[in-house]
Each structure stands twice: as C-alpha cells, then as structure tokens.
Structure 1
C-alpha cells in the first residue's frame, strides 16, 4: 500500500482534487482520504491553525457511520451461529436480563410482545421513532453539547420494551438511532458480553483498527464528578466546533446510544475498514471468518421510496452507478461530521472527516465527499 499526504500545498491529480474539495467545505479542520487501486492519498486542511498532533493522525467522531460497525458485528455473530437475523430483539434482551421478559399475565394478550427482530433494528424497519419519547426532556438543556450523557443503556432497553411500534415491524422504513442502539444491547445480552468487547474482539481486532476508540479520550469524559487525567501528551481526539467554526465542543459521550454513534477513528483506520469492504478476501481480513460478514453487509436487503429507488444493505446506503453500486454512510455529532463510502467496481474508498457540525441548508461536506466517490473512475 502506497500513500501520498498533502497539507495545503499546490498539487495536481488526485491530491489536487482533494485539496480543492477541502477548500470547498470551509471547516476549521478537515481530512479527506482516498484509497484507489491500492494507493492512498490524504489531504489535511482547514481554516484553523494546525494542531500539535497532525490532523490525519487524530481520532474523529464519525457519529451515525458507527452503525456500519454494529451491523458488521451482527453479521459476524450470525455467521458464527451465535444468533439469527430473525431473532426477536425482546427475547434476546431477556436472555441477559430475565427481568425484561414479558410477565406471564401479559403473555396471553400479547400486550408486552414486541416482535421486532434484529434485522428490523439494523435496517430501520422496527417501527421505532428516531429517539425515545422521554429522551428529549432530559437532553434539551444540553442539546448542543452533550445530549446523550443522561440516558444510560438500561433506560434505552426499558424504553424499547415499553414501546408500541408505530407500524408493524418490517413494513416501513424510519431512520432510528433508538433501534440501532437497542440492537447493540440485544447482542450484548444474547452473548453475555458488553457491546464494546464484542466489537473489539470480532471487528476492530481482526481488521487491525488500532486507532479506533469508543469513548472520548480523557478518562471520565461525560461522567459527572470524574477526575480528568493529567497528562502533558497532546490530545489525539480531534476537537469539534459549533456551526460558527470557532466555538469548541467537548468530546461526545453517547450514554446508552453507543452502538448508534460512539466510534471515533483516525482517517487511516477508516480507510483500512473500507479497504476490507472493497476486498473481503484481501488483507487484513484474508483467512479470517470476518471475510464472510464483510460480504454479507454488501447484499441488498430492502428498497424504498418512489419506484424503490433507494436501496439498503444490512448497514449501508447503496446507490447505482454505470460501473456498479457504491456504498456509503454519513454521520454527525455535536461538533464533527464524517462520510465513509466505497465503490468496488473502481476499487475506490473515501473517508472524510471535519471538525464542524452540519450547517443546515448550506452544508457542502457530504456532497463534496460523495462526489469524490462517485466521480472517481
């Protein structure tokens, strides 16, 4: 694997395209990384002064793009025979927490029976809202900085078990951080292993993603009363910003919603992840069981919208191109944005991150990153 890294100087070819793309985004810090036929090109830029740790070596919050990791974990556990896509989530949650099982007095009426499956949860067809109804009152006072901290995993599970789906599971698509989070907790309950450990053992470790973490860098971040670590070493977590591009935002603690948005990774790790999806039989997944799961998450599962023009796999949005499908997912946190995508026909992958929250109606980040993926031959 060869690589080219640029940092704002005049360049041509792919490096020039990335430099132009970065300038179009206008963010305090931005990294755009492309892997094309085995060659990596990385551009670092932004309006803010360069940080002590180079931008391409920092970890970035990828927000909802974390769901692709949780979906890959599900595919791997299914491949290993530890569970099935059609397992009812409420039953799996009861595996680890007997108190979550329906009461005998309610079994005959089915009043507490939620039939959403693991597949429904990851494909956003479980009939769930974006977030639990009681999430908003506790989050509103810190909505722009730390909305998830006060809503732990136990509360996510309880909200799911008392929820009545808006629609019969499997009949309608509605994007849901709630559903993806419940999936992670169901996997943990079914295996008796915390979601973080499952992800590390089955996904991050086999892929060699040593620059990927699931928590803000400072120990205790997001935990009331915790004492921050005292260290002279430069921070390696990128600092996010408000839409103004100036006001810093602290690292985001996801509370009980980690499976939906907790991954923070270096651009290099994101490219390694995407390269494994481009070629599951190649390194670093060659010879590992994970290769089958990497294939599984590329298969189309459902279509929606007018003329069924929107296609979804287990974890990815899929769009057609003349050379074959491209796959992508984006994410945003309180202070950062990310786009990851890959296109097998052209052996191209794009990982783009920036340290500014999305600005409604005038955001160019996602469109710019998507264009790099779709226009590269």
Structure 2
C-alpha cells in the first residue's frame, strides 16, 4: 500500500458534481432500455433489477426467471451485503464534517474508555474504514462458531458483543496503516466504535445521520416481510434461502434497500450541493490510498475508484447468502447505476461483470 493521496479525511476533488449534458433522445432511451433488458436476461436470476439515472432521468428494467412477485420487483428491498459499507463510509465522513470525530480516534478507546494499555501502533477509525487496520477478513474463531449455521445464518452466530471482544482481545495481525486487506471484521468494529463514541445505537445513528437526511425511506437494517423484502436464492437460482442476518456485522453488510432508494443515494453523490450532506458526499469521492502493481487500485473512504477514458468511476459490490448488489456512479457523465438480483453466484459471475460493464460504458 502506498501513502495516502490526500490527508485524512481528504479535500474534495475539483470535479464537476453534475456536469451538464444534452437532453436524452428517444433513440437514447430505447437503446438504454434494450441494454438493461439484456442485462436482466444475462443475470439469469429469479429476480433482477437494473436501474440507471442519467442527469436525474431514471430508467429501470426488471424481470427474472421466477414468476413476478405480488409487489413489483422495483419496489422490493434487496440485501446489499458489502455495498452497505458505502453508507458506513458516508456516515463516518458526516460525523467528521460535523466536528464530532476526526477519524484518528483509537478504536480501542472508543469501545473501552477505561482500557489503559494498547499497542504502540493503535488501530484508528480511519484504519478500520479503509481496510488498513491489520485485522483479518473475519475473527479467528468465526468459522468455528458459524459452521453449524453455515448455509442459513452464519453471521447471526457472531453477535455484537463477540465482535467487540474479539477485537479487544486479539487486535491487529499487522501494523495498522501498512497493508490493505479487505476486512468485514474491521468495518463491523468501526460500526460498534461509532455507536459507542456517540452514545447512539447503530441503527439510530445511521438513520439520523444518513437515511433521514437523504429521504431514504425504502432503506433499513432489518427485514420486514415478504411483501417488502425480496427473497434470495442459492447458486442454483431455485432454492430459497433465509433472509440475511448480519449478527454483529451490521455496519459491514446489513442494509436492505429498494432500487429507487439506491438511485437516490447515488444521485446525491453526483449532486452533493443539492443535499444536506454536501461536504461528506464530496469527501467520500476523494482518493485516500493506492495499492497494487503500479498503484492501479485506488480507494476512497467508501468506494473503489477506477479510471475511464474521460473520468473516474466509483463502485462497490456486495453479496449475501442469496442476493447480490452492485452500486456505482460516474461524475463525468452524470450516470448512476444500481443493480440487484436474488441469486448468489460463486464463480464466473455474470451479474457483477454485466453491471460493471454498463457503468464503464457510461
């Protein structure tokens, strides 16, 4: 991992937030409809929704191999898995912009203020969010505890208290800030640290700071029922699986959202000035670190960032036991993409490749 490209939390880019473009033509609309229809068919899932916003103009196509559910697919809430981390990143950015935190706070001190000893190189909130904490992907005993419910609810067997205890007992494997390693464990700890330091339960904190200000009424951390939430399926695309229970990993992957809410969330990133979270939304677009050969992999507080011929694209994917999601946006073209499906792919994933390709094409 290289040094960060900007001081934490970073100054926003001088990019156009929502560049002006020519009005869409009927031919443009028809072409986009056809591309989204093909994307749904390529996904081959019981339910799939591909939703695109271009300069605020939305196009949504949905379908699937299963009979249409009673509630239209575009109005159901879908499990986001790790794409939930983009909301967690924005939350930390907002708490920093409000002056409540700096990002440099020690996670141990947030979770246990009476703790008097700590490693010479402490894990900070910034380390946890950017996957540079030195923590493994999951706690050392996670698989052992999750095994009895591996195909139904593995995370549910690892509650919040155990996540916190695993962090306080073992700490990082590597010196914080020296290596990038994707860690659900780290972001889960971040969620508990933010809740502890603000004295606010995680669900309330996210709702008050992010969901309510952005009017995301179709986004929640808990399942409500079959008329509200999409039903996931396994690798075969036919076997239903239980709704995802994130256990103590809420900040890393618990959110559910409708496709239209996801577009609202992404449109806010494209047009920060039109929202009450403008400063935080600008912050999460700022590159913080680069890694890999030639420093090709760029990360912000909340997003993976890849180049295109005319500007960067920001994206994040996620998966649960039976659903997948892909979110992304491109400031250069004013394009946002939200794609969800009710099937878990484990190899040769056509869903992610199709969604990424649509965003890359602009």
Alpha-carbon distance between aligned partners in 2 of 1:341 and 1:292, rounded to the nearest angstrom = 19
Partner of 1:237: 229
216, 224, 233: which one aligns with 1:209: 216
Give 1:74-93 correspondences, 5 Å limit. 74-93=92-111
Alpha-carbon distance between aligned partners in 2 of 1:114 and 1:164, rounded to the nearest angstrom = 11
Partner of 1:40: 58
Alpha-carbon distance between aligned partners in 1 of 2:64 and 2:171, rounded to the nearest angstrom = 46
Partner of 1:312: 299
Report deviation, 1:12.
3.0
Alpha-carbon distance between aligned partners in 2 of 1:93 and 1:318, rounded to the nearest angstrom = 31
Instruction: Tell me, yes or no, if structure 1 residue 371 matches structure 2 residue 361.
Output: no
Alpha-carbon distance between aligned partners in 1 of 2:35 and 2:344, rounded to the nearest angstrom = 23
Runs of 4+ in structure 1 off by over 3 angstroms are none
CA contact (8 A) 2:121 2:175 kept: no
Alpha-carbon distance between aligned partners in 1 of 2:288 and 2:358, rounded to the nearest angstrom = 26
Alpha-carbon distance between aligned partners in 2 of 1:69 and 1:266, rounded to the nearest angstrom = 14
Partner of 2:164: 157
Quick one: higher RCO (CA 8 Å, sep 6+), 1 or 2? Answer: 2
Partner of 2:87: 69
Instruction: Tell me, yes or no, if structure 1 residue 251 matches structure 2 residue 243.
Output: yes
CA RMSD in angstroms comes to 1.4
CA contact (8 A) 1:318 1:326 kept: yes
Instruction: Tell me, yes or no, if structure 1 residue 23 matches structure 2 residue 41.
Output: yes
Alpha-carbon distance between aligned partners in 2 of 1:367 and 1:181, rounded to the nearest angstrom = 27
**Counterpart secondary structure, 1:133:** coil
Report deviation, 1:114.
6.3
Deviates more, 1:158-167 or 1:255-264: 158-167
**Counterpart secondary structure, 2:157:** coil
Alpha-carbon distance between aligned partners in 2 of 1:186 and 1:359, rounded to the nearest angstrom = 32
333, 337, 349: which one aligns with 2:320: 333
Instruction: Tell me, yes or no, if structure 1 residue 184 matches structure 2 residue 188.
Output: no
Report deviation, 1:25.
1.1
Instruction: Tell me, yes or no, if structure 1 residue 271 matches structure 2 residue 258.
Output: no
Partner of 1:225: none
Alpha-carbon distance between aligned partners in 2 of 1:20 and 1:152, rounded to the nearest angstrom = 40
Alpha-carbon distance between aligned partners in 2 of 1:114 and 1:308, rounded to the nearest angstrom = 25
CA contact (8 A) 1:90 1:114 kept: no
Report deviation, 1:164.
3.5
Give 1:51-130 correspondences, 5 Å limit. 51-95=69-113, 98=114, 101-102=115-116, 107=117, 110=118, 115-130=122-137
Partner of 1:301: 288
Report deviation, 1:138.
1.4
Instruction: Tell me, yes or no, if structure 1 residue 200 matches structure 2 residue 186.
Output: no
Q: Summarize deviations over 1:339-368 as a string: whole Å, max 9, x none.
A: 0000000000000000001231x2110010
CA contact (8 A) 1:212 1:266 kept: yes
**Counterpart secondary structure, 2:60:** strand
**Counterpart secondary structure, 1:33:** strand
Q: Summarize deviations over 1:83-102 as a string: whole Å, max 9, x none.
A: 1111111111124xx4xx24
User: Structure 1: which 5+ runs fail to align?
Assistant: 1-10, 219-233
Q: Summarize deviations over 1:216-264 as a string: whole Å, max 9, x none.
A: 224xxxxxxxxxxxxxxx5210000000000001111111000000000
> What is the TM-score of this pair, normalised by structure 2?
0.90
Alpha-carbon distance between aligned partners in 1 of 2:266 and 2:338, rounded to the nearest angstrom = 8
Alpha-carbon distance between aligned partners in 2 of 1:171 and 1:120, rounded to the nearest angstrom = 10
